[in-house]
Amino acid sequence: MQPKVSRRKQKVLTAVTDAIDTVPAGSAAAKYLRSIDLTRFLADKARFNQRLLDRSNSDIMSCAVNYVRTPPNGGTPGGEHVHDYDQFIFLISGRMMVKIDGETYPVSPGTLMIFPAGIAHHFWNLEEETIHLTIMAPAPDPQKPRATQLNS
């Protein structure tokens, strides 16, 4: 059974699905174009995190990009933390709160959050799902933990 999707989200999903159909796996274009795994994304409403670009699926070392859905009343797994790389989060949909270096801010769609390396941060949403892109620069070393958790 397919989850109920708003008309606006359905238009976006249709556009994405059409785009996916034009990039066959293993093609030359697949080296340069990445798509969201809609089967996994639509399977349930749990937290979804797809690594669109990182050292495991690319030779690019300058950055990594994740597509993330956080369900209502969810947030950063593990709470407040720091990274040894710069992190940027671009909020696509929903509203969230973010704590950066001890200050809390409301965030709405179309906002870029900037977390320099070593700056404590975490985010959470309240009553609605959020979707965002996470960009990490440089791409994290897959042999190291991505974050250092802080005691809140």
Residues 78 and 135 placed together within one structural domain of the fold: yes
Residues 71 and 13 placed together within one structural domain of the fold: no
What is the secondary structure of 1-33 as a DSSP string?
-PPP--HHHHHHHHHHHHHHHTS-TTSTGGGT-
The CATH number that applies at residue 50 is 2.60.120.10
Residues 125 and 83 placed together within one structural domain of the fold: yes
Domains held by the chain: number: 2
Q: What is the pLDDT along the chain (152 residues), one digit of tens a residue?
A: 445 667 766 666 565 555 544 566 667 777 788 888 888 888 888 999 999 888 888 888 999 999 999 999 999 888 899 999 999 999 999 999 999 999 999 999 999 999 999 999 999 998 899 999 999 999 998 888 889 999 75
Residues 15 and 60 placed together within one structural domain of the fold: no
What gap in Å lies between CA 2 and CA 43, rounded to an integer? 8
Residues 50 and 36 placed together within one structural domain of the fold: no
Residues 145 and 73 placed together within one structural domain of the fold: yes
∠ CA(58), CA(34), CA(130), 5° rounding? 115
- Domain, as residue range, for 65: 45-149
